[in-house]
Amino acid sequence: MSLSSGMLAGKVAFVTGGSRGIGAGIVKRLAKEGAAVAFTYATSHEQATQLVLSVEAGGGRAVALQADSADAAAVRGAIDQTVKTLGRLDVFVNNAGILLRDTIDQVSLHDLDKMLAVNVRAVYVGIQAAARHMAEGGRIVTIGSVVAQRSAFPGSSSYSMTKAAVAGLVRGVAIDLAPRGITVNNVQPGPTATDMNPPDGPLSEVIKNLIPVKRFGTDDEIASLVAYLASPEAGFVTGASLTIDGGYLA
């Protein structure tokens, strides 16, 4: 398929936390569908550079921008820079997130505040800034988690709370932006093979036994759902939290 004939040809997308894992998978898929893609990274400069080169080698266009999602001004600045560099903004994907695991009697307020800053406040700030640049037909997608509905393991209560907050935010923002023809949706991956959740990690076999299909998801599978929600075909889908979890919540 030619990039010029992809379902996102001529569109501009912005992805937070796009240098690795699920974020990198999303960047590559949106670029494959014809979008010019800007993405942020916090510290992974080398990975970000390699991702840009990979997209360009496939005939696409990508721009890497350093921005810590915990810094609201940096998030707004990266979105503004995307519009300045690429001319517009059609798709905003908030993928950046952090997990600091500890039980409720042990988690520190410092760690809680860090997770809230990246997992909740940055989503709010990013959506707010992106929506100001979007025309009718804009697409906003957040990457949440099935832990919003099922924690399953000790130590994930704070993280689960942040992802539940994102699901609630998406429902309200979808109503706010519906009159402008902008859709807002939340993708909730189940256990997915990433650096944060390696398929050969110490709990991997326990986790797989909780998944009916008995395997972890892949970056490409999550990115495929994001690409659909970013496309013109998804114009009647908004305010939804869609799980992609191999039956984990079934």
Output the pLDDT for position 202: 83
241-244 and 183-189 strand pairing: parallel
**3 exposed, middle or buried (CB, 10 Å; 0-12, 13-18, 19+)?**
middle
Query: pLDDT at position 3, please?
Result: 75
Active-site residue, from 41, 159, 228, 248: 159
Query: Which domains are assigned to the chain?
Result: 3-244 (3.40.50.720)
159 is catalytic: yes
Nearest by Cα to 183 from 224, 225, 234, 145: 234
Q: What pTM was computed for the model?
A: 0.94
CB within 8 Å of 191: residues ≥ 6 apart: 197, 207, 208, 210, 211, 216, 217, 245, 246, 248
Q: State how far the alpha carbon of 86 is from the alpha carbons of 36, 80, 157, in Å.
A: 7, 10, 39
CB atoms within 10 A of CB 245: 22
Q: What local confidence, expressed as pLDDT, does residue 147 receive? A: 95
Residue 2: predicted pLDDT: 65
Render 71-111 in DSSP notation, one character per residue. -HHHHHHHHHHHHHHHS---EEEE---------TTT--HHH
Q: Pull the structure tokens for residue 238.
A: 């908004």
Amino acid at 226: V
> Which residues does the chain have with pLDDT short of 50?
none
CA pair distance 15, 40, nearest whole angstrom: 7
